[in-house]
């Protein structure tokens, strides 16, 4: 069916609807997010309106990928309702084409949309969001959650943290290094505008050093020895949803080598693998409420039921994903169970509606 003239026509109608929704969602996200970013830029740090426009553009792919399941749902609903209102589905049924045949172009379109989201949008979102976070941290008004890193090098016990990260986790902005003495008390503290990780050391820039009972001193640059490897620091500082799909297998392998939990990374990886089927499930849900012919218009109650069902599926998948990331559920089950159950329900409802 997908390669027939009618199948190509349905597929093109679906693609056009998806493109219109993408255009609308991108426009709305950009306008709303720009108003937020403008309030967070810092003129003291030399940022201006151009920086706000750039930060908003960099944040856009990351936010957009969160809306892809809803774009798939609404696109399928709108396309099917439009075809139904123009009696094109009625004609297709009269020609002996079953629902399973003319729904296939929409299923293939949803699967391709999911594949594009995983293979293209996700790596782009990972790259752009990291740079957006770095620019926001430079402004000084947007704090990130940066976990403290503890290191014991040459007998010196220190912890290092910061207010923001950049360069894929190898640079800390507004970094703080705290030194401990042999009794576990704080010996001194160093505050730097940034700390850059290189082979065997952190390089602190524009440093203010404070020791107990002494006046603070300023130094342009300080070297802090470290035994932390770059891969280890990146694995601890970068959030799983900011890791590109293609980099996730390597990050999972590194986490196992370092003896840290891989639940969050494995859950994210399996979630991305299941995304095309999640969009297919969204399409099946749309079909269950939009294929029935109505002379004037689809019942608002039925359409609302489809929207609520899609929203429930998305919320459930996010909730179960959180359970998988925390280690409560197996990452494989957390990513795939909601998708499999939703597809089974959608197919069952369609079988009941169409075949009795």
- The candidate with the shortest Cα–Cα distance to 178, out of 202, 158, 162, is 158
CB atoms closer than 10 angstroms to residue 90? 12
Decide: 162 and 175 in contact? Cβ < 8 Å. yes
Question: Span 189-196, mean pLDDT?
Answer: 86
pLDDT one-digit tens code per residue, 6-58: 888 889 999 999 999 999 999 999 999 888 888 777 666 567 788 888 889 99
- 17-20 own/partner pairs: CB under 8 Å, 24+ apart: 17/75, 17/78, 17/79, 17/82, 18/71, 18/72, 18/75, 18/109, 18/113
Predicted pLDDT at 298: 54
d(CA 240, CA 58): 18
Predicted pLDDT at 42: 64
Q: What angle do CA 326, 328, 334 make, to 5 degrees?
A: 85
Q: Which of the four pLDDT bands, split at 50, 70 and 90, describes residue 293?
A: low
Decide: 290 and 81 in contact? Cβ < 8 Å. yes
- Domain boundaries of the chain, sorted by first residue: 5-140+261-355, 149-228
The CATH T-level fold of domain 149-228 is lipopolysaccharide transport protein A fold (2.60.450)
Least confident of 31-40, 86-95, 241-250: 86-95
What is the percentage of the chain residues whose pLDDT exceeds 90? 22
Decide: 185 and 208 in contact? Cβ < 8 Å. no
Question: Is the pLDDT score of 60 beyond 90?
Answer: yes
State the chain's mean pLDDT as an integer. 83
Q: Which of the four pLDDT bands, split at 50, 70 and 90, describes residue 118?
A: very high
Q: Which of the four pLDDT bands, split at 50, 70 and 90, describes residue 279?
A: very high
Question: Is the pLDDT score of 296 beyond 60?
Answer: no
Sequence-distant (6+) residues with CB within 8 A of 39 are 141
Predicted pLDDT at 267: 92
Predicted pLDDT at 120: 95
Predicted pLDDT at 169: 67
Q: Which of the four pLDDT bands, split at 50, 70 and 90, describes residue 261?
A: confident
């Amino acid at each position: 069916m997908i390669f027939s003239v009618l199948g190509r026509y349905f597929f093109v109608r679906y693609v056009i609807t998806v493109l219109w929704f993408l255009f609308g969602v991108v426009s709305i996200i950009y306008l709303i997010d720009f108003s937020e970013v403008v309030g967070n830029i810092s003129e003291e740090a030399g940022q201006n309106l151009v920086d706000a426009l750039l930060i908003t553009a960099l944040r856009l792919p990351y936010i957009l990928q969160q809306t892809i399941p809803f774009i798939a749902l609404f696109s399928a609903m709108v396309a099917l309702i439009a075809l139904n209102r123009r009696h094109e589905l009625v004609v297709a049924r009269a020609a002996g084409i079953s629902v399973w045949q003319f729904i296939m172009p929409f299923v293939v379109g949803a699967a391709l949309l999911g594949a594009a989201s995983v293979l293209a949008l996700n790596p782009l979102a990972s790259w752009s969001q990291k740079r957006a976070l770095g620019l926001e941290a430079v402004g000084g008004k947007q704090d990130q959650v940066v976990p403290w890193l503890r290191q014991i090098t040459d007998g010196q016990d220190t912890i290092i943290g910061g207010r923001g990260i950049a360069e894929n986790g190898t640079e800390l902005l507004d970094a703080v290094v705290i030194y401990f003495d042999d009794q576990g008390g704080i010996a001194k503290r160093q505050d730097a505008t940034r700390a850059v990780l290189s082979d065997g050391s952190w390089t602190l820039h524009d440093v203010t050093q404070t020791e107990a009972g002494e006046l603070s001193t300023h130094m342009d640059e300080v070297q802090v020895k470290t035994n932390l490897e770059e891969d280890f620091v990146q694995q601890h500082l970068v959030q799983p949803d900011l890791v590109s799909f293609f980099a996730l297998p390597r990050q999972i392998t590194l986490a196992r080598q370092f003896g840290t939990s891989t639940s969050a990374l494995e859950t994210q990886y399996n979630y991305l693998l299941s995304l095309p089927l999640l969009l297919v499930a969204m399409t099946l849900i749309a079909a269950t409420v939009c294929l029935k012919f109505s002379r004037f218009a689809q019942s608002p109650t039925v359409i609302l039921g489809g929207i609520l069902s899609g929203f429930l599926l998305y919320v459930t998948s996010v909730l179960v994903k959180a359970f998988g990331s925390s280690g409560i559920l197996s990452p494989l089950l957390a990513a795939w169970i909601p998708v499999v159950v939703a597809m089974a329900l959608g197919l069952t409802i369609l079988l009941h509606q169409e075949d009795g």
